[in-house]
């Protein structure tokens, strides 16, 4: 199956034959083809965006939303079903990442989506899926969010779900479990879900789902009560108390809380109709507002529904012996134009594209226009801090992040823009905002400062993925690298961050990667940052990192790491282990090159792998997921990663580390 907008994973693609000549000559030839490919993919407005592939729950929940609102149409349904079928595994299950194991909740949601599309329970592919679901414990064993979707249609009882009252909207920011204790993605999802769970709607189910239950009684999934002295026992009893409060609490208070939640939701709708630039909050916000009386013709609802189409990537399936032909659609969880554009700009500049090349100048102009200059949720904890960051998506003024901000600044400094004064002013705002978002530990989270309360993750309601945004090594490394490039190497705040990074190094020599898979990503981020901060390549931390990367290099010369390295109990088994991929090989090479290993055997083999596996069109194949939404629970295949990170590595192998743009700037205190 080949996407019309992103053909990076075509089954018919072939690797380019290895060129004759020295390794440097082959690297130059490979980089030149990659530059040509990447330049051709730039939008006329100046941005780049690759497809952002996750898993079929996005597609299933899109159909369930449309069914709930009464707007599901046959064309959308069949195109989604075609995509969902194409991702089913031979055992009848659906996974959350390429090559991963079957996932119960994902399989249930995919199965329901195909039932909506008319697939009958007795069809072989449906029987295999239903049998596997029952073997795993049935619907009762699925995550809370899956059972919420089923409860909307009477396939599960609302009373058997954890409570999350809308009154949480009023908790002050110092109070435990206030909404700002949650990460921004969880906050945007939980607020509308409190409305949904308070209303407990049930739309007539279009069909029964008895085949997904282990027995007709549909047992209450509540576990045995833990000791009241444990956190688990405390939160189990808290949930029981919230169920009781639902029965006896003030109705007028509940109505007022629902109105406050509605205002909070509407105030955070972006200009294009989305919420936070990501699909899940948009889905739940639309349901919540509909339950609160907003009709489908209301401007907020119209804009929200229209925004859903912008998450859609259409494919054309070729068919064949095991597949069906026709149009298919994939729903992206979000879109990554700012992230992709700054990474593409860095890759091209480091590969030797002139700093005043029209493509780079256009990209810089577009990025300058995307800087967020109004306050968002981050200002709740930082009320005195002026804005100045960048977000990940096209439209997301409420939630800029430090990771994008750092990389955009690094990209802008590689471009010779005709209005240098504008660039300088933009960067000053970004540096001020970034420094202001530092957490007390000296490190950085992505979206908020000090968003590290352990309590939200313990709620029975929050059984899927990370719901807080604590500091991470990869984000902190990008901030350190940016601040050092801006002459802040001696700033005490940067030195605190460096100390934090050194303390976070694993015994193996690697660093954990929060937003990319995993230890290869974390190490690929941290080593260049520490070198930028002044650590010598001979520093013991650098030597341990180099030793670890050399120890996990695959026999083919590349690097890869499976997402199972995030799975509790499997970290050591899978850390740095997996099929070689272009992006992960790029990350490893970036670390090794920064650590002074350009002439090492490991670098030679890695560069050889990139030159040997490049496709005829100048890109690389990468079906494996190397991006992370929530470690283990939600994985991402950024389709542009396979292009930008190999090219950056090749460029730094050929031309150095790309920091020349920062040379000569005075230290700023």
- Tens of pLDDT, residue by residue over 151-164, are 999 999 999 999 99
For 272, which DSSP code?
T
pTM of the model: 0.93
CA 314-319-322 angle, 5° bins: 125
**Residue 658's pLDDT band (boundaries 50, 70, 90)?**
low
403 is catalytic: yes
**Average of per-residue pLDDT across 25-52:** 98
Q: Do domains 2-53+333-453+466-659 and 57-207+224-331 have the same CATH topology?
A: yes
**Residue 318's pLDDT band (boundaries 50, 70, 90)?**
low
Of 239, 397, 403, 474, the catalytic one is 403
- Tell me what pLDDT residue 224 has: 74
Where along the chain do its domains lie? 2-53+333-453+466-659, 57-207+224-331
The topology (CATH level 3) of 2-53+333-453+466-659 is Glycosyltransferase (1.50.10)
- Tell me what pLDDT residue 464 has: 81
Paired sense of beta strands 312-318 and 325-331, if any: antiparallel
What angle, 0 to 180 degrees and rounded to 10, lies between the N-to-C axes of helices 358-369 and 337-350? 150
- Tell me what pLDDT residue 220 has: 53
Does position 669 have pLDDT exceeding 70, yes or no?
Answer: no
- Tell me what pLDDT residue 234 has: 82
- Tell me what pLDDT residue 247 has: 87
- Tell me what pLDDT residue 357 has: 98
What is d(CA 107, CA 366) in angstroms, rounded to the nearest whole number? 40
More confident residue, 245 or 32: 32
- Tell me what pLDDT residue 321 has: 46
- Tell me what pLDDT residue 2 has: 35
Query: What are the tens digits of pLDDT across the range 41-77?
Result: 999 999 999 999 999 999 999 999 999 999 999 999 9
% the chain with pLDDT above 90: 84
- Tell me what pLDDT residue 323 has: 61
**Average of per-residue pLDDT across 548-577:** 95
Query: What are the tens digits of pLDDT across the range 424-455?
Result: 999 999 999 999 999 999 999 999 999 999 99
The string over 522-533, giving b where at least 16 C-beta atoms fall within 10 Å of a residue's C-beta and e elsewhere, is: bbbbbbbbbbbb
Of the candidate ranges 68-77, 235-244, 266-275, 557-566, the one whose mean pLDDT is the lowest? 235-244
Kindly tell me the sign of the dihedral angle through the C-alpha atoms of 263, 269, 273, 278.
Answer: negative
**Residue 659's pLDDT band (boundaries 50, 70, 90)?**
low
% the chain with pLDDT above 70: 93
What is the residue-averaged pLDDT of the chain?
A: 92
Of the candidate ranges 8-22, 166-180, 197-211, 523-537, the one whose mean pLDDT is the lowest? 8-22
Does position 20 have pLDDT exceeding 80, yes or no?
Answer: no
Token output for 544: 């341990």
**Average of per-residue pLDDT across 325-352:** 95
What is d(CA 422, CA 378) in angstroms, rounded to the nearest whole number? 25
- Tell me what pLDDT residue 657 has: 73
- Tell me what pLDDT residue 78 has: 96
* Domain range 57-207+224-331, CATH architecture: Alpha/alpha barrel (1.50)
């Amino acid at each position: 199956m080949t996407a019309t907008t992103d053909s990076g994973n075509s089954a018919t693609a072939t690797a380019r034959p290895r060129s004759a000549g020295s390794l440097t000559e082959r690297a130059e030839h490979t980089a030149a083809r990659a530059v040509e490919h990447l330049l051709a993919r730039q939008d006329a407005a100046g941005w780049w965006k690759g497809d952002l592939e996750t898993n079929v729950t996005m597609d299933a929940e899109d159909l369930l939303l449309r069914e709930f609102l009464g707007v599901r149409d046959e064309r959308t349904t069949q195109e989604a079903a075609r995509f969902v079928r194409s991702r089913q595994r031979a055992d009848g299950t659906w996974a959350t990442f390429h090559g991963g194991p079957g996932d119960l909740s994902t399989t249930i949601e995919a199965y329901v989506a195909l039932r909506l599309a008319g697939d009958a329970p007795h069809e072989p592919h449906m029987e295999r899926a239903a049998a596997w679901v029952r073997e795993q414990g049935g619907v009762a064993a699925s995550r809370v969010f899956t059972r919420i979707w089923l409860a909307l249609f009477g396939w599960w009882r609302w009373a058997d779900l954890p409570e999350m009252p809308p009154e949480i909207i009023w908790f002050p920011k110092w109070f435990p479990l206030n909404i700002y204790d949650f990460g921004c993605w969880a906050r945007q999802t939980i607020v509308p879900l409190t409305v949904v769970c308070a209303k407990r709607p049930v739309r007539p189910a279009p069909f029964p789902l008895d085949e997904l239950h282990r027995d007709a009684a549909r047992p209450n999934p509540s576990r045995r009560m833990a000791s009241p002295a444990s956190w688990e026992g405390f939160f189990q009893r808290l949930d029981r108390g919230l169920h009781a409060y639902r029965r006896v609490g003030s109705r007028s208070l509940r109505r007022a809380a629902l109105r406050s939640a509605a205002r909070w939701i509407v105030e955070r709708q972006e200009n294009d109709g989305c919420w936070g630039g990501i699909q899940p909050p948009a889905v739940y916000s639309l349901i919540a507002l509909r339950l609160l009386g907003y009709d489908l013709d209301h401007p907020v609802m119209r804009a929200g529904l229209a925004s859903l189409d912008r998450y859609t990537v259409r494919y054309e399936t070729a068919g064949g012996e095991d597949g069906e032909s026709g149009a298919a659609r994939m729903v992206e969880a979000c879109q990554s134009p700012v992230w992709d554009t700054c990474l593409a700009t860095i890759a091209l500049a480091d590969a030797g594209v002139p700093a005043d090349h029209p493509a780079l100048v256009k990209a810089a102009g577009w990025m300058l226009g995307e800087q967020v200059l109004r306050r968002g949720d981050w200002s709740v904890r930082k009320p005195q801090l002026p804005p100045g960051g960048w977000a990940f998506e096209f439209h997301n003024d409420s939630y800029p992040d430090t990771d994008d901000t750092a990389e955009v600044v690094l990209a802008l400094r590689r471009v010779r823009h005709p209005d240098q004064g504008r660039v300088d002013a933009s960067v000053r705002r970004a540096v001020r905002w970034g420094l202001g978002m530092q957490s007390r530990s000296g490190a950085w989270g992505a979206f908020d400062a000090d968003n590290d309360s352990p309590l939200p993750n313990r709620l029975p309601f929050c059984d899927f993925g990370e719901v807080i945004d604590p500091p991470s090594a990869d984000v902190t490394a990008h901030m350190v690298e940016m601040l050092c490039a801006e002459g802040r190497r001696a700033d005490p705040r940067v030195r605190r961050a460096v100390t934090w990074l050194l303390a976070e190094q694993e015994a193996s020599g690697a660093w954990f990667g929060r937003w990319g898979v995993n230890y290869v990503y974390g190490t690929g981020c941290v080593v260049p940052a520490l070198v930028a901060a002044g650590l010598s390549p001979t520093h013991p931390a650098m030597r341990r990192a180099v030793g670890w990367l050399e120890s996990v290099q695959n026999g083919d010369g590349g690097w890869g790491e499976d997402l199972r390295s995030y799975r509790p109990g499997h970290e050591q088994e899978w850390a740095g282990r997996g099929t070689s991929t272009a992006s992960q090989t790029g990350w490893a090479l970036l670390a090794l090159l920064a650590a002074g290993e350009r002439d090492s055997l490991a670098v030679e083999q890695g560069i050889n792998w990139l030159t040997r596996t490049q496709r005829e069109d100048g890109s690389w194949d990468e079906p494996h997921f190397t991006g992370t939404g929530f470690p283990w629970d939600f994985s991402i295949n950024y389709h542009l990663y396979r292009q930008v990170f190999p090219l950056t590595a090749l460029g730094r192998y050929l031309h150095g580390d790309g920091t020349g743009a920062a040379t000569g700037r005075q230290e700023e205190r």
